[in-house]
Structure 1
Amino acid sequence: MAVLLIAEDDEDIALVLARVFKRTGMTVLRASDGRAALEAILDKRPDIVLTDLGMPHMDGWELIDAIRAHPDDDVRRVPIAILSGHLRPGDPRAAESQVCAIMLKPCPNDQLLATMEELVTIGLHDHDAADSRCPADMPVTV
């Protein structure tokens, strides 16, 4: 059973997300800000992280940077997806952040579940390697 950490400061959204993922059999951990999320990641070692961007104490970008810069491979290589309404078109951080997926609120549950299930299946992976398994690093074919 996969363990998912949801970093989301809006309690109502966090409750709905937790309910959606628990129905699939995932174990869901929650953190209401980036700092608490990083502490939970270091303590609980989730299989995947879903983060909002606009959070207090440490925003989603700072959380992603802290995870990707961590010296422990099991932390640094965890799949991360963004679910946010705070992403502006053309924001260069989206391309540079080494996240595996970016979804905008509101996101249909089927798309959210399919994306997260794919990332759980892929598991821990690098983003700077030529043989990266991350869907964000895959070449786009037309």
Structure 2
Amino acid sequence: MPVMLIAEDDEDIALVLTRVFKRAGMTVLRAADGVAALELLAENRPDVIVTDLGMPRMDGWELIAAVRADPEVARTPIVILSGHLRPGDPRAGSAQCCAILLKPCPNDQLLATVQELLEIGPHDHDSSDSRCPAEMPVSV
């Protein structure tokens, strides 16, 4: 059973996300901020992380940077799910996340994104042979 870590400070959104992923057959871990998410990450090694950006103590940007800096978990797929992202934010292109979804995001789109990342599995985010969807060339 895949293990999902949700870093989300809004209790209502976290409950909905938990329900969506549990119904899809996943084990769900929840953290209200990046610090708690890092603690759960170290203990449980989830298969995918879904993070908000605007959280107390440690925001989503800092969480992503901390995950990518830790060789033990750096290859974990990360999805940003946030309403705090502004158009043209330069951090989006360099965050080394696998997908960026804006709230409100349809549950089926979020689930499809996570399932694609589960199929890909752990992968690099800084090399030319990365399997990360965010780094794959787009065909026109």
> Scaled by the length of structure 2, what TM-score is found?
0.99
Q: CA deviation at 1:71?
A: 2.6
Alignment-derived partner of residue 47 in structure 1? 47
Q: Does 1:11 align with 2:11?
A: yes
Q: CA deviation at 1:121?
A: 0.8
Q: Does 1:119 align with 2:117?
A: yes
Please, which runs of 5 or more residues in structure 1 have no aligned partner? Answer: none
SS in 1 for 2:138: coil
Q: CA deviation at 1:131?
A: 1.0
1:103 and 1:46 map into 2 onto residues whose CA distance is 20
Aligned CA RMSD, in angstroms, stands at 0.5
Alignment-derived partner of residue 104 in structure 1? 102
> Scaled by the length of structure 1, what TM-score is found?
0.97
Alignment-derived partner of residue 68 in structure 2? 68
Q: Which runs of 4+ in 1 moved over 2 A?
A: none
Q: CA deviation at 1:129?
A: 1.6
Amino acid at match of 2:134: A
Please, which runs of 5 or more residues in structure 2 have no aligned partner? Answer: none
Alignment-derived partner of residue 134 in structure 2? 136
Alignment-derived partner of residue 92 in structure 1? 90
SS in 2 for 1:76: coil
SS in 2 for 1:110: helix
Identity value in percent: 74
